Amino acid sequence: MSNWFQEHFSRRKFLGGTGAVAATALLSESARQAEAAEKEPQVRSGEQTIKLKVNGKVHEVKVEPRTTLLDVLRYQLDLTGAKPVSIDGSSGASTVIVDGKPVTASTTLALAVEGKAIQTVESLAGKKLDPVPQCFVEHDAEQCGFCTPGFVVAVRAYLDKNPNATEEMIRNNLNGNICRCGTYVNVLQAAVAVVKGGGNG
């Protein structure tokens, strides 16, 4: 993480959340930043206001360079589905989807996901319930439930890429999440059910 951080931020010049920047649309701002970053290194430090696009909505949040995406979600946006379980992301409990890819929010800095599309477990329970949580419920894939949101998101992200995954593929590829209560059998049943078209009613 620290190498990644240095590479992306510490050698860049401070960009800051100036009024001019804040007035611009998020995505174009991000594109401009990326372009600027390519030209010359930037440094960002201290508390600053940035915009994060979470579950389709843009939020202004206050972050420091050290602030994780997980802390922003949980403490500023009241999205507590992603859980703080392991500082190194090895439990997968803080899994969210960023630009279509599963990442652990506990190991992602908020500054690193400016301008990206962030999707949390809460988005799967919108007007229409997503088949993944629906199948988790049907197959009793939650005991204490603390790992469950991270697992749900991980399954969603995997099946988005592999909509026809076999049981064997699911067993081999959904190993980024830990459940202490041991709901794996039920999670497996739930994921297989989603592939078979379950959870749509």
In the complex, the residues that contact another protein under the rule CB under 8 A are: 64, 66-67, 71, 74-75, 78-88, 90-91, 93, 120-122, 124-125, 129, 133, 136-138, 140-149, 152, 170-172, 174-188
Measured from the CB atom, the residue of 29 and 96 that comes closer to another protein is 96
- Per DSSP, helices labelled H in the chain are 2-5, 19-22, 26-39, 69-71, 131-138, 148-161, 167-173, 184-195
CB of 131 to another protein, least distance (A): 11
CB of 87 to another protein, least distance (A): 6
Measured from the CB atom, the residue of 26 and 169 that comes closer to another protein is 169
Query: Residue 186 — φ and ψ, nearest 5°?
Result: -70, -40
CB of 135 to another protein, least distance (A): 9
CB of 18 to another protein, least distance (A): 22
CB of 72 to another protein, least distance (A): 10
Distance CA 117, CA 131 (A): 21
Cβ(154)–Cβ(81) under 8 Å? Answer: no
- Give all strands (DSSP E) within 32-170, no chain letters: 48-54, 57-63, 95-98, 101-104, 117-119
Measured from the CB atom, the residue of 48 and 91 that comes closer to another protein is 91
Measured from the CB atom, the residue of 17 and 199 that comes closer to another protein is 199
Exposure letters 135-155 (e unless 16+ CB within 10 A, then b): bbeebebbeeeebbbbbbbbb
Query: Residue 48 — φ and ψ, nearest 5°?
Result: -150, 160
In the block, residue with structure tokens 């995997």:
158
From residue 153, alpha-carbon distances to 13, 69, 174 in Å are: 35, 16, 11
Measured from the CB atom, the residue of 26 and 77 that comes closer to another protein is 77
Measured from the CB atom, the residue of 15 and 79 that comes closer to another protein is 79
CB of 173 to another protein, least distance (A): 8
